[in-house]
Amino acid sequence: MTTSIRRTTRPTGDILDVVATGARPDLVLDMVGAHEVMTALRAHDVRRGGAWLFNATVWQRFDRSWSGPDSPDGAQLMGTIYVTHGAPTAYDVTINRVTVTPLGELAGWTPTMVCADALALGGLTLADCGPLVI
């Protein structure tokens, strides 16, 4: 699925490309897999030399690490993963949506690649994740 969302800012008239491509994979990580991935994402934090900015519900992939704790210093966002905890069971984590920025798309990233990169840090592949079954 390819979506382009453009917003025009009022003062300058600049066009901001927010999302170039997006996907809704609805992949489910079990408790152990989710723990492995989130631990690896935390270890690869952009503020500590890695490429990921991690919090509980949003995982963001940058092109390089930041120069300091709150200083991106030109690092560009490539893609974002949105997750939900406690779905479909109390111990699962569901990957709901993955997006890629226009710069990420130019660099060759796809939603599948962003997701696979995060999972690989925890030793998983897309095939290791179950589909969301309701």
Higher pLDDT, 131 or 66: 66
In this structure, is residue 6 part of a structural domain?
no
In this structure, is residue 5 part of a structural domain?
no
Higher pLDDT, 118 or 4: 118
Supply the range of the domain harboring residue 70.
21-131
Domain count across the chain: 1
- The answer, yes or no, to whether residue 3 has pLDDT greater than 90, is no
In this structure, is residue 7 part of a structural domain?
no
In this structure, is residue 112 part of a structural domain?
yes
Question: What is the DSSP pairing of strand 93-100 with strand 27-29?
Answer: antiparallel
Give pLDDT, residue 130. Answer: 82
SS (H, E, C) the chain: CEEEEEEECCCCCCEEEEEEEEECCCEEECHHHHHHHHHHHHHCEHHHCCCEEECCCEEEEECCCCCECCECCCCCEEEEEEEEECCCCCCCEEEEEEEECHHHHHCCCCHHHHHHHHHHHCCCCHHHCEECCC
In this structure, is residue 13 part of a structural domain?
no
- The answer, yes or no, to whether residue 4 has pLDDT greater than 80, is no
In this structure, is residue 3 part of a structural domain?
no
- The answer, yes or no, to whether residue 16 has pLDDT greater than 80, is no
pTM: 0.84
In this structure, is residue 16 part of a structural domain?
no
Give pLDDT, residue 39. Answer: 97
- The answer, yes or no, to whether residue 115 has pLDDT greater than 50, is yes
Q: pLDDT tens-digit profile of 62-106?
A: 999 998 888 888 999 999 999 999 988 999 999 999 999 999 999
Residue 123, domain CATH: 3.30.310
In this structure, is residue 37 part of a structural domain?
yes
